[in-house]
């Protein structure tokens, strides 16, 4: 059994000592602004709604030592994950010595990106007077790059999940490598969308590279390096300051993942968080060996999950850099669910990673009472749709996450219908845009009455969404947390889990959770009922006026009130 | 030339600017804002600064108001009822599922403007292509009317799914509601916005219904008061998208005025840039709490078609002015990790910077500028005595925790960081539109803008800084230059092909008919994109002249400029936009402020950022400046101070502007 400890120490100790604090602050702001420019460029030129609406991408800068200089806020799920893939991408093409200005490296090996092959990274080396000083990197979700299906919930190895580019030059010294380009297009079901997104990613990474290059020129390389070292030390000091406020101790929680998508058996796991002075260690060794279906979580995404959970609790209002991550250590077991070995399938890596985030937060709720809410619907409820248009035969595809109810907390009722926290910056698509684009009619887009977990504070409501299917098409359901009820805290009751029901034209109905390629004949109706939040505190302690207000506005029915809040009637 | 009065109600002060046709003179005045009844502050400013005979001669009274904004901020407006398509009652509350702060586990959206019990569904359905899937059920509307009557609803918003493609059901529902006895105002979503995205359109329509209740009475009341004082001209209200609306239009479409606050400064910059033929100009407005910037190309205002105010999206044109919390009152502090930080928190006007000595003890940008001699020690407008000692006292404690050596270095750091924040905001508005800021001229105004002009030039690598006349009140000058502008839009998703342009022409004709502006200059723009993309670029078209190839070429050029590449994919129209503009006056010269009468300049000790140390420098009154003066020097005027560093030269231009040129690069 191999236990792996992942942590990040200072790379050039003492380099930042004596760096000018004013210039350091100016460079820190400049890096964050440059990352934001890269993000805006990608959003505005991308073709795939998964990029421009769901913000399913990450943009960041790394220095020559592969330390993270800055990352623009997009999906929290991708926080700090690009380090592995920048390193692997550069190794893949022969190391830093093999790089020249104008290169763009393409990399999408799931064991380096942490996610599925659809999440492809572009890495651009940045030179200052012939010296390699940094990298700009973008990882974004392509609609399709081969694989047995456009979106897979039932793969048995990583080779079924998509074509893998293990670090290859897409541009060599500014010239497009057309052999690679043609291979990408030949392996995609939607080459035109992918071309558009490739162009957007290359343009974005180059925009970022130019902005960072200008920053280095303005301040000089020596000043830049020393200020960056001080910036990392600053980030580390901030996070250590937060951790010192947590009481030392060992905090634990455990839960169960519905299924691995192939074998159907539940997967129990636990988290153990050790707080010791200004350091925090998260242990994820209490989990099964890597499983046969695609819910294994490659190490980079496990690292990200831990960073997100801690960032939420530590109140990180700051854009993170490498320094913020130094006080954090992760313990995993090689060959396990949270540290699988190639070629274990991992397409749905987000399921264990999202689950771990909420469980770490639950464990730490004991360390800082009142710091954590009850469970939310707990999943992004990803649905992916595709088909060929009836009139033209043209292929189409769309995909989106959907919001869930949030857990109640000591502060008040949980919010209704917000994206799960790992995708908290994501917006879901307006029904009118969907209807203008896809062969659907949305029949219902509503809050689910009575769904919030009862408690002194009520859980947020889940969403009821019904799609009438106007042309034959396929659907892949990525739903998790369909069996486990969102937990309440301190006597609060659970909310409802996620559920997907297909109502066929002949009146037959069937429920799905993780399921690939569900055929939907014209006239079917797909009902998505997303999970709600758990309650906080005993329901009998709920303010009667709050119960009456919920009744008046129709968030709960009279029957629900009579069952859970008889004291208020 | 006509006499025009502009009055802009700000958070702290109500500014009045008067352009007198007889003398060509521009006059300014200030009164405290009276938030509970803003018209009192407006009228007090008029009574104090405008003689009755002049008011009687005044043709246009241009008003920038925050009444709509305040109604939203304070949540004081009409009790609104919403009628919507069956199945869509909760659109307003579900929003788009995102959070304002993605890292806040506990984030909760503000309560919707219409509570759930007043959001009522009617059976009906229109498809995205405009075809009717299910007819409107009249009884559902009648039932809604009963609920609204019982609940005391003042105003109703009707928002039906896909009404942008076919508005008949919305119109019919309004008729049924009126027939059922509802007597209040009704806002129809296809009239308010005409664009797709049901949450954003619902929100805009509800905001319209919510603020109309306050805006109409307020404007009519103000109009009456002005007329009692002898005013016989026309009351105009500034628009978020630039220009102004007539009183009747502003009362009918109040949501178009809500984001008008920072627009006047950008509009004034656009006029100035056009008259000086600046090509690319960057507005740099440094006020008490914020730095506002906008990119002006060829004298045109940068427009966006969706704004957001207090977390509520509005489908309405607005001028793309970006604000960052880096103004004179921005507070400097040492953070927990020992770095020096500036803003976004501001000491505001009260208590204000420490040097005001009105109870503020926290160090601000103004304190740093005063300490470094960038602002003359002595007085600023408003008669507040600035205390250099108080400024130094406030700055000194920042040295310890940051490890910065001494008060001078702290003050230099505060100014540099503030300038870096401003420069980043400028890079944001330029680079996002594919413009290299190095070719631009910086137009510096607002109380503290001219203090930062040279620092911004060095940060942005720009060679020209323009300080307009009346720099401290330049935003208000933008008010008296407004045209009457109206616009309307309709979403029409379809390929850009030979059949498309005649359709566009028809839609534009219908939109212009609705605008009903005789004598207006008509402009048509199309939101275009590559098929498959979501985000659009807005491209002007000349109907009757342009063919598809011409429009496509214009799009490609704009796309290349913004994103650095072009794509072969076919184009798609998303939205048709029609704008009518009535130009009120083309000839309004900018007249420099009259001499202040305060003579007595001299020399001062100031910090030169270029030289990295203290230096003796002349202080010159602006009206006394002739020929070219080399920096370092301070140019002072009643409402602003211009800091000219070594390496720069200032020249009084015939236009009344102070032109600052960078002689060498740092």
Average pLDDT of B565-571? Answer: 81
CB-based contact (8 Å) between B109 and chain A?
Answer: yes
At B505-536, the pLDDT tens digits run 999 999 999 888 888 899 999 999 988 777 78
Rounded CA gap, A258 and A268, in Å?
A: 9
At B552 the pLDDT is 95
CB under 8 Å to B507, separation ≥6 — which residues? B490, B492, B576
Q: Do B103 and A196 touch (CB under 8 A)?
A: no
Interface predicted TM-score (ipTM) over 0.90? yes
Question: Residue B331: its pLDDT value, please?
Answer: 95
Residue B562, pLDDT > 80, answer no
Distance CA A366, CA B310 (A): 35
Instruction: Supply B163's token pair.
Output: 């009404």
Beta bridge partners of residue B234, listed in sequence order: B60
Q: What is the mean pLDDT of chain A?
A: 93
Query: Cβ neighbours of residue A65 under 8 Å, at least 6 residues apart?
Result: A11, A12
Q: What percent of chain B has pLDDT over 70?
A: 96
- Over residues B48-81, the pLDDT tens digits come to 889 999 999 998 999 988 888 888 888 889 999 9
Query: Nearest C-alpha of chain A: how many angstroms from B198?
Result: 6
Domain ranges (residues) in chain B: 4-72+214-257, 76-204, 268-304+317-326+418-479, 330-415, 484-582, 602-662
Which tokens go with B508? Answer: 């534009």
Answer with the residue of higher pLDDT: B588 or A569.
A569
- Decide if pLDDT at B600 tops 70: no
Judged by CB atoms closer than 8 Å, whether chains meet at B102 and A76 is answered as yes
Cα-to-chain-centroid distance, residue B603: 38
Q: If you average pLDDT over every residue of chain B, what do you get?
A: 89
Going by C-alpha positions, the residue among B52, B15, B18, B20 that lies closest to residue B31 is B15
Residues B137/B169, Cβ–Cβ less than 8 Å: no
Query: Taking CB atoms and an 8 Å limit, are A419 and B403 in contact across chains?
Result: no
Which of A34, A27, A36, A70 lies closest to A55, judged by CA? A36
CATH class of the domain defined by B4-72+214-257: alpha beta
pLDDT per position as a tens digit, B616-628: 999 998 888 888 9
Q: List, in sequence order, the alpha helices (H) in B461-547.
A: 474-479, 500-515
Q: Do B533 and A45 touch (CB under 8 A)?
A: yes
DSSP 3-state of A186:
helix
Does B590 score more than 80 pLDDT?
no
Q: Which strands sit side by side in the sheet containing A175-176, from one edge to the other?
A: A68-71, A57-63, A131-141, A119-128, A104-107, A166-172, A175-176
Reduced to 3 states, what is the DSSP secondary structure of residue B616? strand
**Cα(B236)–Cα(B585) distance, rounded to whole angstroms?**
14
pLDDT in tens, A524-550: 999 999 999 999 999 999 999 999 999
Tell me chain B's radius of gyration from C-alpha atoms. Answer: 26
CATH topology of domain B268-304+317-326+418-479: Nucleotidyltransferase; domain 5 (3.30.420)
Q: Which of B103, B195, B291 to mutate to test the interface with A (most CBs of A within 10 A)?
A: B103
Q: Which residues of B touch A78 (CB under 8 A)?
A: none
Instruction: Determine the distance in angstroms separating the CA of B453 from the nearest CA of chain A, rounded to an integer.
Output: 18
Q: Please report which residue ranges of B564-656 form alpha helices under DSSP H.
A: none
Q: Judge contact between A133 and A62, C-beta under 8 A.
A: no
Q: What is the pLDDT, as a whole number, of residue A564? A: 98
Residue with tokens 């985030």: A357
Note the pLDDT of residue B11: 67
Distance separating alpha carbons of residues B155 and B177, to the nearest angstrom: 11
> CATH number of the domain at B484-582, please?
3.30.1490
Q: Once rounded to an integer, what is the mean pLDDT over residues A251-264?
A: 94
Q: Is the pLDDT of residue A179 over 70?
A: yes
Is A318's pLDDT higher than 70?
A: yes
Residues A22, B432: C-beta atoms closer than 8 Å:
no
B350 or A131: which leads in pLDDT: A131
Instruction: Show the tokens assigned to B446.
Output: 């607002």
pLDDT at residue B379 in the model? 60
How many other C-beta atoms are found inside a 10 Å radius of the C-beta of residue B269?
Answer: 31
pLDDT single digits (tens) B383-420: 677 899 999 999 999 999 999 999 999 999 999 999 99
Please identify which residue in the block is written with the tokens 């897409």.
A170
Same fold yes or no, B268-304+317-326+418-479 and B484-582 = no
Assign A426 a pLDDT band (cuts: 50, 70, 90). confident
- Strand-pairing partners, residue A300, are none
- Chain A contacts of B416, Cβ < 8 Å? 22, 26
Residue B588: predicted pLDDT: 53
- Percent of chain B at pLDDT > 90 equals 58
pLDDT digits (tens, 9 = 90+) for B114-140: 999 999 999 999 999 999 999 999 999
The per-residue pLDDT for A120 is 95
- What is the C-alpha to C-alpha distance for residues A149 and A517, in angstroms, rounded to an integer? 8
Mean pLDDT of B236-253: 90
User: Sign (positive/negative) of CA torsion B433, B436, B440, B446?
Assistant: positive
How do B13-19 and B4-9 pair as beta strands? antiparallel
DSSP B469: T
User: What pLDDT is recorded for position A173?
Assistant: 96
Let me know the angle formed at the C-alpha of B39 by B36 and B44, rounded to the nearest 5 degrees. Answer: 110
Residue window 606-625, chain B: list those with CB within 8 Å of chain A: none
Residues 6 or more apart whose CB falls under 8 angstroms from that of A11 comprise A65, A67
Asked if the peptide bond before residue A343 counts as cis, ω within 30 degrees of 0, the response is yes
Average pLDDT of A175-183?
A: 96
CA gap B637, B652 in Å, rounded: 13
Minimum distance, in Å, between the CA of residue B64 and any CA atom of chain A: 32
> Which phi and psi angles does A402 have, rounded to 5°?
-135, 145
Q: Are strands A383-388 and A514-520 parallel, antiparallel or unpaired?
A: unpaired
Say whether pLDDT at A252 is over 60: yes
Burial of residue A223 (number of CB atoms within 10 Å: 0-12, 13-18, 19+): middle
Q: Which residues of A touch B105 (CB under 8 A)?
A: 312-313, 361, 372-373, 409, 421
pLDDT band at A7 (very low <50, low <70, confident <90, very high): confident
Q: How many angstroms separate the Cα of A222 from the Cα of each of A63, A219, A229, B65? A: 13, 8, 11, 51
Mean pLDDT of A260-276: 94
């Amino acid at each position: 059994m191999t236990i792996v400890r992942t942590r990040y120490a200072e790379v050039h100790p003492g380099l930042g000592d004596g760096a000018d604090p004013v210039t350091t602050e100016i460079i820190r702001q400049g890096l964050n602004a440059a990352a934001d420019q890269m993000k805006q460029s990608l959003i505005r030129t991308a073709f795939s709604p998964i990029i421009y609406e769901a913000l399913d991408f990450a943009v960041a800068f790394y220095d020559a030592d592969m330390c993270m200089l800055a990352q623009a806020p997009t999906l929290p799920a991708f926080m700090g994950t690009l380090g592995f893939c920048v390193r692997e991408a550069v190794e893949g093409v022969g190391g830093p010595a093999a790089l020249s200005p104008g290169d763009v490296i393409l990399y999408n090996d799931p064991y380096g990106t942490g996610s599925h092959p659809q999440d492809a990274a572009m890495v651009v080396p940045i030179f200052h007077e012939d010296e390699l000083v940094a990298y700009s990197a973008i990882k974004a979700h392509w609609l399709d790059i081969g694989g047995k299906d456009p979106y897979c919930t039932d793969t048995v190895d990583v080779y079924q999940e998509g074509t893998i580019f293990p670090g290859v030059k897409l541009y060599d010294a500014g010239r497009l490598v057309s052999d690679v380009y043609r291979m990408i297009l030949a392996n995609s079901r939607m080459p035109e969308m992918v071309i558009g997104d490739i162009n957007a990613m290359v343009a974005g990474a180059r925009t970022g590279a130019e902005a960072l290059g200008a920053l280095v020129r303005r301040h000089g390389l020596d000043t830049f390096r020393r200020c960056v070292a001080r910036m990392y030390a600053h980030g580390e000091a901030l996070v250590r300051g937060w951790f010192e406020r947590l009481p030392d101790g060992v905090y634990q929680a455990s839960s169960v993942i519905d299924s691995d998508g192939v074998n159907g058996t539940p997967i129990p796991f636990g988290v153990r968080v050790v707080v010791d002075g200004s350091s925090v260690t998260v242990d994820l060794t209490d989990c099964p060996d890597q499983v046969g279906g695609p819910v294994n979580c490659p190490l980079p995404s496990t690292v990200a999950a831990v960073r997100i959970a801690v960032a939420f609790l530590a109140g990180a209002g700051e854009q993170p850099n490498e320094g913020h991550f130094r006080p954090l250590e992760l313990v995993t077991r090689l060959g396990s669910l949270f540290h699988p070995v190639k070629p274990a399938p991992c397409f749905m890596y987000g399921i264990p990673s999202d689950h771990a985030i909420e469980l770490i937060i639950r464990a730490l709720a004991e360390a800082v009472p009142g710091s954590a809410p009850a469970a939310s619907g707990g999943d992004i409820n990803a649905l992916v749709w595709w088909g060929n248009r009836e009139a033209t035969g043209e292929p189409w595809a769309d995909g989106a996450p959907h919001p869930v109810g949030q857990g109640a907390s000591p502060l008040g009722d949980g919010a209704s219908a917000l994206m799960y926290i790992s995708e908290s910056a994501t917006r879901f698509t307006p029904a009118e845009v969907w209807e203008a684009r896809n062969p659907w009619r949305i029949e219902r887009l509503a809050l689910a009455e009575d769904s919030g977990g009862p408690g002194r504070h009520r859980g947020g409501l889940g969403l009821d969404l019904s799609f009438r299917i106007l042309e034959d098409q396929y659907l892949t359901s990525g739903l998790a947390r369909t069996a486990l009820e969102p937990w309440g805290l301190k006597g609060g009751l659970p909310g409802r889990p996620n559920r997907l029901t297909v109502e066929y034209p002949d009146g037959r109905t069937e429920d799905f959770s993780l399921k690939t390629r569900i055929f939907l004949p014209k006239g079917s109706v797909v009902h998505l009922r997303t999970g709600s939040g758990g309650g906080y505190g005993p329901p009998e302690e709920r303010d009667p006026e709050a119960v009456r207000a919920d009744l008046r506005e129709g968030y709960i029915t009279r029957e629900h009130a009579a069952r859970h809040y008889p004291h208020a009637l | 030339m006509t006499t025009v009065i502009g009055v802009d109600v700000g958070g702290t002060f109500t500014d009045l600017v008067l352009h007198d046709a007889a003398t060509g003179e521009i006059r300014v005045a200030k009164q405290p804002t009276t938030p509970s009844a803003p018209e009192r502050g407006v009228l007090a400013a008029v009574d104090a600064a405008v003689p009755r005979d002049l008011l009687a001669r005044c043709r246009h009274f241009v008003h920038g108001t925050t009444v709509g904004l305040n109604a939203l901020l304070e949540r004081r407006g009409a009790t609104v009822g919403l009628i919507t398509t069956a199945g869509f009652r909760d659109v307003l509350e579900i929003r788009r599922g995102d959070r304002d702060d993605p890292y806040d586990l506990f984030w909760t959206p503000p309560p919707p403007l219409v509570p759930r019990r007043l959001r009522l569904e009617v059976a009906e359905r229109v498809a995205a292509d405009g075809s009717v899937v299910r007819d409107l059920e009249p009884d559902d509307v009648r039932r809604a009317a009963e609920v609204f009557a019982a609940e005391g609803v003042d105003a109703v918003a009707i928002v039906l799914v896909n009404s942008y493609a076919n508005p008949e059901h919305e119109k019919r529902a309004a008729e049924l509601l009126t027939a059922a006895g509802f007597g209040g105002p009704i806002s129809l979503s296809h009239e308010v916005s005409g664009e797709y995205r049901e949450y954003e359109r619902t929100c805009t329509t509800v905001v319209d219904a919510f603020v109309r209740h306050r805006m109409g009475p307020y404007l009519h009341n103000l109009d009456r008061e002005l007329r009692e004082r002898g005013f016989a001209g026309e009351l105009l209200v500034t628009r978020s998208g630039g220009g102004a609306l007539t009183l009747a239009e502003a009362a009918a479409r109040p949501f178009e005025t809500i984001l008008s606050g920072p627009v006047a400064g950008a509009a004034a910059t656009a006029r100035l840039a056009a008259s000086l033929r600046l090509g690319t100009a960057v507005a740099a407005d440094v006020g008490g709490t914020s730095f506002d910037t906008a990119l002006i190309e060829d004298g045109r205002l940068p427009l966006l078609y969706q704004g957001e105010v207090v977390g509520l999206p509005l489908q309405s044109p607005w001028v793309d002015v970006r604000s960052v919390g880096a103004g004179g009152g921005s507070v400097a502090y040492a953070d927990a990790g020992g770095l020096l930080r500036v803003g976004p928190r501001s000491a505001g006007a009260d208590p204000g910077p420490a040097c005001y000595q009105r109870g503020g003890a926290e160090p601000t940008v103004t304190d740093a500028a005063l300490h470094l001699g960038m602002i003359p020690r002595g007085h600023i407008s408003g008669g507040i005595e600035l205390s250099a000692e108080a400024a130094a006292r406030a700055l000194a404690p920042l040295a310890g925790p940051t490890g910065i050596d001494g008060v001078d270095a702290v003050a230099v750091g505060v100014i540099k960081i503030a300038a870096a924040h401003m420069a980043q905001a400028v890079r944001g508005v330029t680079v996002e539109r594919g413009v290299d800021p190095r070719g631009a001229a910086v137009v510096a105004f607002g109380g503290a803008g001219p203090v930062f002009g040279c620092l911004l030039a060095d940060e942005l690598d720009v060679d020209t800084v323009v300080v307009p006349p009346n720099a401290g009140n330049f935003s208000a000058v933008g008010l008296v230059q407004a045209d009457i502008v109206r616009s309307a839009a309709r979403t029409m998703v379809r390929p850009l092909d030979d059949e498309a342009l005649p359709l566009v022409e028809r839609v534009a004709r219908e939109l212009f008919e609705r605008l009903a502006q005789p004598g207006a200059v008509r402009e048509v723009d199309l939101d275009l994109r590559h098929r498959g993309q979501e985000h659009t670029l807005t491209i002007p078209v000349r109907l009757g002249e342009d063919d598809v190839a011409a429009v496509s070429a214009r799009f490609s050029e704009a796309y290349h400029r913004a994103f650095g590449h072009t794509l072969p994919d076919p184009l798609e129209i998303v939205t048709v936009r029609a704008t009518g503009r009535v130009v009120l006056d083309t000839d309004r010269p900018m007249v420099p402020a009259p001499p202040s009468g305060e003579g007595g300049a001299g020399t001062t000790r100031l910090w030169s950022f270029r030289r990295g140390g203290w230096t003796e420098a002349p202080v010159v009154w602006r009206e006394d400046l002739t020929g070219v003066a080399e920096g370092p020097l301070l140019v002072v005027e009643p409402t602003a101070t211009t800091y000219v560093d070594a390496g720069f030269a200032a020249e009084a231009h015939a236009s009344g502007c102070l032109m600052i040129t960078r002689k060498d690069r740092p």
